[in-house]
Amino acid sequence: MNIEAAEEHLVVVSDLHLGNPASSARTRLVAFLDHVRDSGASVCINGDGFDMLQTSFRRLAADAIPVLNRLKALQADGRNIYYVVGNHDIVLEHFLEEWSLCRLSPFLNLRSGDRRIRIEHGHLYDPFFAQSPTLYEISTRLARYALFTVPDTYKVWAKAQRRLQDARHRRVGRPGPAADNGHRPLSLLGSPYHDAASMILRRGFDAVVFGHTHLAEMVTLPEGVYVNSGNWLSGAATYVEITKGELVVRTWEGSADAVTVREFRE
Amino acid sequence: MDAQRMKPPGGRAKPAGRRATGEAEIVVADGEGIVREGDVGHDMFIVQSGQVRISKRKNHGEVVLATLDRGDFFGEMSLLESLPREATARAVGETRLLVLSRGGLLFRLRRDPTFALEMLNHLSSRLRAAQARLIALEPDE
């Protein structure tokens, strides 16, 4: 099982949920991967790329084939494709291996520039998943029916997630003002993902990149930087670009003029 | 965590932080010892920054077994097996270490489960390397 990687230019996307009726990732992703191909970067899909819990085979195939073709083109150019397993594609844990198209890993310890960066989906730190994995899977599968009936169900869920995060922020203190370099001071204590990132960062990492929450963010913790690559289901499509160890969270708006959300620079 | 127990042979490591989780951080100066072969110790170490040279006595000299970088760990054999240190560890350049007690390791494995997989991965690599050395020592028939 290979968990070590070295890349000087890597693009990280997560939570594409290809095949999910609420996902609009396919069309946007095809254009995005063409842009990535021009930029010469390798690609990491950081979990929940293919949604195997909330899809039908017909839908998954329709979404996956054009994306796989773009990934194959990237690979033909000599770029590396990494796929980190998430909770909606957890069945892929049985296939952790170096495949002809991509390397399938439970997480990646990336060396880029002089930095060490952990790339991991992050579902292991979701309290619901960690405490009741069976109940979590059952409820996720049940939600599939709601999504197939009313795809906008996802928007309700996403709104609830944002409200929960806002409530957590209010409970533990409001975020302080961003510094000149875009860093936010530690003010979001209480997030299980920030706690988990802190634990990992203490093991000699400079940054941790998670997905899973669908909420793109970059937070400076005392031990290093926590980044979330967001999602491609609906709304803003976000990704993390790593160049020689420097991390930037960006929003893809359908052209090469991507908008920088936050930057992590020294 | 007993600060005296973490004191290296050179004695100049200083705790840089202490947690209720059974973890502490120490900074060790260049060339200072961290653990000494034959000593009793129950902590393991993760390199946060700098490097650590692992060596073992042989006849009247010392053999360097490995040089560890950021993210690497050592000292786990004594922690897991309650046996004296198998080798000596010295800092190369100023080195910052995360020190885990037994309770600290168990706490970390629960909160940071991917560390278990990383440990297994490293231990498997070390076992493979040790086997290769053993085969190399065997005379050809």
Quick one: average pLDDT of A145-162?
78
Confidence bin at A190 (pLDDT 50/70/90): low
The 10 Å CB-count burial string (b at 16+, else e) for B41-74 is: bebbbbbbebbbbbbeeeeeeeeebeebebbbbb
pLDDT for res A180: 41
Interface residue of B46, B70, B98, B106 to substitute, partner A, most A CBs within 10 Å: B70
| Average pLDDT score over chain A | 85
In this model, does residue A70 exceed pLDDT 60?
A: yes
Q: Residue A183's pLDDT is what? A: 40
Superfamily the domain A4-264 falls into: Metallo-dependent phosphatases (3.60.21.10)
pLDDT at A174 over 60: no
**What is the average per-residue pLDDT within A156-162?**
78
Sign, CA dihedral A20-A58-A128-A3, equals negative
Chain B residues touching residue A116 (CB < 8 angstroms): 70-71
**Do residues B77 and B83 lie in contact, with contact meaning Cβ atoms separated by under 8 Å?**
yes
Complex ipTM > 0.90: no
Helix, strand or coil for residue A102?
A: coil
pTM here? 0.84
Length of chain A: 266
- Identify the three-state secondary structure at position B73: strand
Q: How far is A60 from chain B (nearest CA, A)?
A: 29
CB–CB of B93/B30 below 8 Å? yes
Residue of B21, B76, B108, B114 for testing the chain A interface, max A β-carbons within 10 Å = B114
Q: Using beta carbons and an 8 Å cutoff, which residues of A are at the interface with B?
A: 1, 3, 106-107, 109, 116, 120, 124, 195-196, 199-200, 202-205
A200–B47: do the CB atoms touch at under 8 Å?
Answer: no
The CATH number of whichever domain residue B59 belongs to comes to 2.60.120.10
* Span between the terminal Cα atoms of chain A, in Å: 33
Domains identified in chain B, total number? 1
**β-bridge pairing B61-68 and B73-74:** unpaired
What local confidence, expressed as pLDDT, does residue A205 receive?
97
The distance of B49 to chain A (nearest Cα, Å) reads 6
pLDDT tens series, chain B, 141 aa: 333 344 444 334 444 455 667 899 999 999 999 999 999 999 999 999 999 999 999 988 999 999 999 999 999 999 999 999 999 999 999 999 999 999 999 999 999 999 999 999 999 999 999 899 899 988 876
At A123, the amino acid letter reads H
pLDDT value of residue A182: 40
What's the domain range around B38? 3-137
Q: Domains of chain A: which residue ranges? A: 4-264
